[in-house]
Amino acid sequence: MQKPTIPKGTRDFTPQEMANRNYIFNTIKDVFQLYGFQQIETPAMENLSTLMGKYGEEGDKLLFKILNSGDFISGASDNELLDRNSSKLTNKFSEKGLRYDLTVPFARFVVQHQNEISFPFKRYQMQPVWRADRPQKGRYREFYQCDVDVVGSNSLLNELELIQIVDEVYRRLKINVCLKLNNRKILSGIAEIIGEAEKITDITVAIDKMDKIGLEKVNEEIASKGIAAEAIAKLQPILKLSGTNSEKLIQLKSVLAESEIGQKGISELETIFELCEAMKVQTKIELDLTLARGLNYYTGAIFEVKALDVEIGSITGGGRYDNLTGVFGLDGVSGVGISFGADRIYDVLNQLALYPETSAEQTQILFVSFGEKELLYCLPWLSSLRAQKINSEVYPESTKMKKQMTYADNKRIPFVAIVGETEMNADKVMLKNMKTGEQALVSMDELLEKMKFYR
């Protein structure tokens, strides 16, 4: 028989791995809740009409589509089948797809539930998303995103709070990061003053590659998009911008003096920097004009977080989008949000071995016994421990002690309670510390007292 496998780009997670992953999810979740965000979930699958056209042409290709149930082929005529046009046939065969991110389903959610939501709506969502991408380093076809967004508020205080959340999450996870900040309005201003406003997407996609391919290649790519040489020349001082954040802003102010939207972007950034300083955000924040990000719906701030000690690409990203719900028929709702890439954070933590030594999930005490009578004797002890929220279990069969001890060892259970006739007669258990090897006869009260530090 063929050995079973899982689809490419997907992974199984063992109990040990899940303990590590839950450490990440719980850390992120705790911080989200600390800032007043509430959790929602949306279905794994959405109607394709909700998903299609929201991520550009590339994105549509990367959507996993779900075959219609039943006789899906009846949806297409003979001529359409003979045509062999896959993209047209896809529409006939499939009307649902797996979600590609959490932002678009969230926009759909806001529109659909607009009358039940009170704004500003602060929500978080931690669920897997799927992309039919070719897997490679730090890239999976199924991965988790942890999104926090505020919709229905234009205040830059939201940007501040998101930055504070980034600051707090990575402080707790002990990952050194740099937060890169940009503003779409500045990018628009740049495109405007060089007279290529309608080419903004091409320009931003190209300059996004700056630290990867260098200035020269970026210029080549921009030129290849049909942008005039003089416009490219005008762009140079901006691409070569250097110095501290405030020095960069001063330079930008003069370069973008003629652009109203550019000035707006600069003042937004100034406000954000001031707020961060006032609130003593520890994370290094860097104004980075080459940060453009792929998704075109950002209209204000753009964030990206990079791990400093690991080469892995961005581990968190986001920004402000003024009219995301517009595509679903609800105008005038502004949102700002960020997404933590849990799987990349997991890779970073794995490489740096930054997990806490003991997991809150592990069993703290295992009862080892010698027979049926002893097994039954253990049960009330377990109930008492569990009532005190101490993770505990009993080895459910009376096999050799070696096997039971090995079991405890493999699960890294720190304490074992040995129960034989002697212990039963004394109404006690033999409590053994697996690390030191020390053991002592203890009563129920003594046991609960000792174990209460291991909740």
How many Cβ atoms are within 10 Å of 275's Cβ, its own excluded?
17
Window of 26-34, 42-50, 275-283, 434-442 that interacts with RNA by CB under 7 A: 434-442
> Toward RNA, which CB reaches closer, 262 or 319?
319
Q: Which stretch binds RNA (CB under 7 A): 34-42, 71-79, 87-95, 204-212?
A: 204-212
Of residues 155-184, those binding RNA (CB under 7 A): none
Quick one: which segment of 112-120, 281-289, 375-383, 422-430 binds RNA (CB under 7 A)?
422-430
Please report whether residue 449 would count as binding RNA according to CB under 7 A: no
User: Of 418, 442, 447, 451, which lies in the binding site for RNA, with binding defined by CB under 7 A?
Assistant: 418
294 binds RNA (CB under 7 A): yes
Looking at residue 146, its amino acid is C
Question: Residue 205, interface with RNA (CB under 7 A)?
Answer: yes
**Residue 11 or 113: which CB sits closer to RNA?**
11
The CA-to-CA distance between both ends of the chain, in Å, stands at: 45
Helix (H, G, I), strand (E, B) or coil at 393: strand
Among 128, 135, 152, 326, binds RNA (CB under 7 A): 135
Encoding tokens for residue 190?
A: 């740049």
Helix axis angle for 229-239 and 245-255, nearest 10°, is: 150
Question: Contact at 8 Å (CB) between 419 and 429?
Answer: yes
Cβ-Cβ contacts under 8 Å for 158 (sequence gap 6 or more): 120, 150, 336
Is 18 a binding residue for RNA by CB under 7 A? The answer is no
Question: What 3-state DSSP class applies to 349?
Answer: helix
- Please name which of 280, 291, 342, 343 lies closest in space to residue 318, comparing C-alpha atoms: 291
- Contact between 385 and 365 under an 8 Å Cβ cutoff? The reply is yes
> Binding string to RNA for residues 50 to 69, with x set by CB under 7 A, is what?
------x-xx--x-------
Q: Is 84 in the site for RNA (CB under 7 A)?
A: no
Instruction: Provide the 3-class DSSP secondary structure of residue 282.
Output: coil
- CA distance readout (Å), 242 to 215, 247, 391: 14, 8, 55
Output the six-digit token pair for 90: 């896809």
Residue from 60, 196, 268, 343 in contact with RNA (CB under 7 A): 343
Residues 293/294/299/303 CA torsion (nearest 10 deg): -30
Cβ closest to RNA, residue 5 vs residue 118: 5
Q: Rounded to the nearest whole angstrom, what is the least distance from the CB of residue 72 to RNA in the complex?
A: 20
Contact positions with RNA (CB under 7 A) in 95-124: 101
β-bridge pairing 121-130 and 38-39: parallel
Q: Which residue ranges make up the site for RNA (CB under 7 A)? A: 2, 5, 7-9, 56, 58-59, 62, 101, 131, 133-141, 143, 145, 205, 208-209, 212, 293-295, 304, 313-317, 339, 341, 343-344, 370, 400-403, 405-406, 408-410, 418, 420-423, 430, 432, 434-435, 437, 439
